[in-house]
Amino acid sequence: MSTRYWARLTAITCMLYGVGTQSLSAALDFPTRSIRMIVPQAAGSGVDLMTRIIAQKLTDALGQQVVVDNRPGANGIIGLELLVKSKPDGYTMALGVPSSLTMNPFIYKSLPYDTFRDLAPVIQTSTNTFGMVVNSSLPARSIRHVIALAKSQPGQMAHGSFGTGNMTHLAAALFSSQTGVKLLHVPFKGETPAVVALLSGEIAMMLTPMQAFTPHVRNGKLRLLATFGDRRSVAFPDVSSVTEAGFPNMVMTGWSGILAPSGTPTDIINKIQQEVARVLAVPETRDNLILQGAEPVASTAGEFALFIKSEAAKWSRVIKLAGLEHTQ
């Protein structure tokens, strides 16, 4: 049969399935050059290290370089603003986390992006259990010890966060509301200075994603009192969960996922999703992520979109309770 026949058949098939030949061709050819992965956090942070693990494997899988571009600042706003201003062709993506996607919309009076209008979810890559971590000099060995110490000196025990309105701030707000303790909030400009302050004893404790503290707990410089999942962490199976400690209403989980600008062709989004899912299924990738304190997830784009909506609804209530609604 002629080449023309097959071209017409392909066109008809694409029309029947609601896929344009141009979009299909773009997906089949994609990628033909390097891809930029924006990370709205500093180099060396837990999220950055996790993204680099995925990016390296994705480079191998796609045959094109996936370049990590760190754009920290303003609770992830700088990085996501750059994403939404990028051409929606699959060659610019970004890593999203709860603070930038499901908290900023309720804390900031205005944002240069709309989570649900300007961003296209691609795949959730991980869940990251939160942990209560203290300086090793603090005489506390459990959550209940921390509560007792904090109640004995109201408003004096200092806890750090990666910034006002960051999930690390709101996690402590949830902890305070559930236990009745009053803590002293000390915000920092990102993960690295907050961890340094905890290591030096400038602050006593943090509620933070596990990637931030895992190396320091393993070398004994910090003490992990509990993880805040509904079950024990794979990375720290000997440490009790917050549910086991008797506080099931304080379960909280960080997470991360890949996003593209709204308008990116569905076929390209699906191709990226499939390739990242394959990367996450590789035992070496999974083991490396678990070592960093993250547990791999390989959701579909649709599942990730629904998850973001449910997380936004949950954290909007916490933000209102903490009195942070549209305060920035």
In the block, tokens 């930029």 appear at 36
| Mean pLDDT to the nearest integer, 220-246 | 89
How far lies 181's CA from each of 91, 126, 160, 209, 316, in Å?
A: 47, 31, 15, 21, 21
- CATH number of the domain bearing residue 245: 3.40.190.10
Pick the range with the lowest mean pLDDT from 15-24, 28-37, 73-82, 227-236.
15-24
Question: For residue 59, is it within any domain?
Answer: no
Give me the pLDDT at residue 304, please: 97
13 pLDDT exceeds 60? no
User: Rounded CA gap, 122 and 43, in Å?
Assistant: 23
Task: Share the mean pLDDT of the chain.
Answer: 88
Question: For residue 168, is it within any domain?
Answer: yes
Question: For residue 203, is it within any domain?
Answer: yes
pLDDT, tens digit (0-9, with 9 covering 90-100), for 110-138: 999 999 999 999 999 998 888 999 998 89
User: Rounded CA gap, 222 and 215, in Å?
Assistant: 9
Give me the pLDDT at residue 2, please: 45
303 pLDDT exceeds 70? yes
Give the residue with greater pLDDT, 19 vs 268. Answer: 268
Give me the pLDDT at residue 213, please: 86
Question: For residue 23, is it within any domain?
Answer: no
Give me the pLDDT at residue 12, please: 43
Confidence of residue 270 (pLDDT cuts 50, 70, 90): very high
Question: For residue 7, is it within any domain?
Answer: no
| Contact residues for 12 (Cβ-Cβ < 8 A; gap 6+) | none
318 pLDDT exceeds 50? yes
User: Rounded CA gap, 38 and 96, in Å?
Assistant: 9
Give the residue with greater pLDDT, 284 vs 212. Answer: 284
Question: For residue 174, is it within any domain?
Answer: yes
183 pLDDT exceeds 50? yes
Question: For residue 162, is it within any domain?
Answer: yes
Residue 24, amino acid: L
Q: Which domain holds residue 228?
A: 129-253
Give me the pLDDT at residue 24, please: 52
User: Rounded CA gap, 225 and 206, in Å?
Assistant: 11
Q: Which helix (H) or strand (E) holds 132?
A: strand 119-135
Give me the pLDDT at residue 192, please: 85
* β pairing state of 222-227 and 119-135: antiparallel
Q: How many folded domains does the chain comprise?
A: 1
Give me the pLDDT at residue 165, please: 83
Burial class (CB in 10 A: 0-12, 13-18, 19+), 139: exposed
pLDDT, tens digit (0-9, with 9 covering 90-100), for 14-37: 454 454 444 555 567 899 999 999
Question: For residue 39, is it within any domain?
Answer: no
